[in-house]
Amino acid sequence: MNQYIDSAVNHYRALLEEQMARVDAMNHAAPPKDFTALPVVTIGVIDGDGIGPIISEQTTRVLEALLKDELVAGSIVMKHIEGLTIENRLAKGQAVPDDVLEAVKQCDVLLKGPTETPKGGTMGSANVRLRQALDLYANVRPVSVPEKGIDWTFFRENTEGEYVLGGKGIEIPGALTMDFKVATEPGTRRIARMAFEYAKNNGKDMVAIVTKANVIKKTDGRFSEICHEVAEGYPGIAAEDWYADIVTAKLVDERVRTRFEVFVLPNLYGDIITDEAAQLQGGVGTAGSANLGDQYAMFEAIHGSAPRMIETGRGALANPSSLLRAASMMLRHIARYDKADALDAALDAVPHNGDTAVGFADRLIAAIEG
């Protein structure tokens, strides 16, 4: 048994050294890129797995209709990035193969279809790997149901928490297993600052800080403390602590939920709670997601690859709405506000009605082109 403990201690030391190197890199990061001022914007399109290629193809068609003038002029370039499939990742033994990551880094922003994560084993999530490699530290998900008074924006920390070391836990056979949760000072401070900046710039007067600091006292406790420290620089914006379990309940409480506006959350709670919020909007198929960093940004559907739809021959019926909503967020990120408004207006005006992805895209393009 002692040899297992000694091995675990050495493993833990290596993880601490790795994470301290991350902290140092964040403290010496390059200045943020101004995505709104790029003379040429390169958009990388990644199909993904399952229904991913179907919804990616139709979303690309809609974007090409919206951006046709800039595509011709060369101020926007769209690149199709191949190789981020479950088959290729398993064959190469990498969550994101090196050649795929190199192609990704040649782009400014990414539009990504859902990718499958193998159950068990040691291979991690392609999403988690991309978020770490590109330092996409903020997962931003808006949820809006105007008729119910819901207008929420979630800022989920994207590179730490339970996911950063998700495949690097410790096992002592026949005795115990342990995973690790990480919260760094600079990592927490930057997601808190982004949430409060958004609140300030959009006339919001409350940010909900969601943790389980009453139980997870070191990581969640420090996450809450840092958020409150950041809040001191934003007078007029209230910073309220909410525990993850009770806020999950309050989002379905019609008497309380309308007072929420902006949320800032560690990684795991954000993953779970934003799916609940999207369900109130009409399901995870209706919501897009932004993964933002200082040098890159990635936009994706929040649902999975839906392998059962492919297995049962229903792939053509996949609804691309979530990826299209993500595409709208991408357009706003690169300051194509009029194009984003046109896409949102078309999505609001054209119901999906259960038709094929191709048919839905056809009707959206017709609405956009008038």
Question: Is pLDDT larger for residue 165 or for residue 243?
Answer: 243
Threshold 0.85, pTM exceeds: yes
Mean residue pLDDT of the chain comes to: 94
pLDDT at 281 over 90: no
Question: Are residues 236 and 201 in contact, defined by beta-carbon separation less than 8 angstroms?
Answer: no
Cα 159 to the chain's mean position, in Å? 10
- For the chain, domains (ranges, CATH) are 31-136+293-370 (3.40.718.10)
Within 13 Å of residue 68, how many CA atoms lie on the same side as its CB? 7
Question: Which range among 166-175, 212-221, 353-362 shows the weakest confidence by mean pLDDT?
Answer: 166-175
Vertex 131, ends 107 and 229: CA angle to 5°?
Answer: 120
Per-residue pLDDT at 284 exceeds 80: no
**pLDDT value at position 283?**
78
Contact in structure between 41 and 331 (CB atoms under 8 Å): no
Query: Are residues 288 and 321 in contact, defined by beta-carbon separation less than 8 angstroms?
Result: no
Length in residues, the chain: 370
d(CA 98, CA 206) in angstroms, rounded, equals 42
Total Cβ atoms within 10 A of residue 290: 21
Measured between alpha carbons, how far is 185 from 189 in angstroms, rounded to an integer? Answer: 6
6-52 pLDDT, tens per residue?
999 999 999 999 999 999 999 999 999 999 999 999 999 999 999 99
Higher pLDDT, 203 or 286: 203
| Closest of 157, 209, 207 to residue 182, by C-alpha | 157
Q: How far apart are CA 80 and CA 17, in angstroms?
A: 37
Residue 337: its H or E element? helix 337-349
Phi and psi at residue 168, to the nearest 5°: -125, 30
What is the predicted pLDDT for the residue at 22? 94
Helix (H) or strand (E) holding 48: none
Give the type of residue at 112: K
Give 225-250 as a DSSP string.
HHHHHHHTTSTT-EEEEEEHHHHHHH
- Is residue 294 within 8 Å of residue 321, measured between CB atoms? no
CA distance 63 to 364: 10
CA 306 to the chain's CA centroid: 18
Share of the chain above pLDDT 70, in %: 99
Distance of CA 27 to the CA centre of its chain: 23
Percentage of the chain beyond pLDDT 90 is 86
> pLDDT tens digits for 113-168?
999 987 766 677 899 899 989 999 999 999 999 999 999 999 999 999 998 888 78
pLDDT for 4 equals: 86
Rounded CA separation 348/342 (Å): 10
